[in-house]
Structure 1
């Protein structure tokens, strides 16, 4: 049995729906699954265990990938990770988005991975499928077992 810690933000419910699919995978594996939603109202805690972050893509400011394009709705998660030593326990990022947005698909996750110097573990579109969850869940566990960032 593994403890699987996941921080996420969900604005439209898509990430929350994917968390539910990951929870089913954790149950099959007999793991202790700990997802926590982070939003503007979340009080910052001191992270003491490795975790991964699931981040959707919500952008404003253009159609490219340059600095004029800024994140919206996911800022609380990024700020939470930056607080104190919380970044130290981040082991990777999983992105979601809409492939219709071309270069901007999972751009927020790519930026988080670069900013926090962790791997982009994987990605899925919109709410994700049960097949995405089955593919991604073992990668989450592997990332949590790694020493990257420690």
Structure 2
């Protein structure tokens, strides 16, 4: 059983987190073959768009410009490529949900990009973590992803 993660990383925080998640999954797999492995696919501005044939979960940080996100809007910056990739052909139908990250100092805008993706593409906002996440975040999100894979297996 495999959990596919498509992610976009600007500062390296998202990449660092999903790699910790992947390493955690490898350890769990050594304890029980029933535990899923994590497969990573980084989407970048240079990525070749392709049709996704297997379910995946999207991981996206929040980078916004302007507004406060409540009453005068915001503009997503730097992470647009992941949204465009999800929009490509039928890829949105393969996405099981989104995990967001950000900086809690930004209050309501924390994980706003992931929340906007969930609303726009009509899939669930699964979880969040701050910056590079904590070991507890890794364990919690792995559990959420494991349950999700079991549900759709």
Shared fold by TM > 0.5? yes
**Aligned-partner Cα distance in 2 for 1:121–1:56:** 14
For 2:41, the equivalent position in structure 1 comes to 36
Q: Classify the secondary structure of the residue corresponding to 1:84.
A: coil
**Aligned-partner Cα distance in 1 for 2:112–2:55:** 23
1:60-99 equivalences in 2 (<5 Å): 60-66=65-71, 68-99=73-104
Counterpart among 48, 53, 78 of residue 48 in structure 1: 53
For 2:115, the equivalent position in structure 1 comes to 110
| Unmatched runs of 5 consecutive residues or more in structure 1 | none
Q: Structure 1 segments of 4 or more deviating over 4 A?
A: none
Counterpart among 139, 142, 145 of residue 134 in structure 1: 139
Contact in 2 for aligned 1:5/1:35 (Cα 8 Å): yes
Q: Compared with structure 1, are the counterparts of its residues 35 and 82 closer, same or farther at alpha carbon in structure 2 (3 Å cutoff)? A: same
**Aligned-partner Cα distance in 2 for 1:79–1:5:** 18
Contact in 2 for aligned 1:65/1:107 (Cα 8 Å): no
Tell me the matched-pair count. 146
RMSD: 1.3
Contact in 2 for aligned 1:91/1:144 (Cα 8 Å): no
TM, length-normalised to structure 1: 0.92
For 2:33, the equivalent position in structure 1 comes to none
Contact in 2 for aligned 1:91/1:146 (Cα 8 Å): no
For 2:12, the equivalent position in structure 1 comes to 13
Q: Classify the secondary structure of the residue corresponding to 1:146.
A: helix
**Aligned-partner Cα distance in 1 for 2:21–2:38:** 9
Quote the offset at 1:66 in angstroms.
4.4
For 2:149, the equivalent position in structure 1 comes to 144
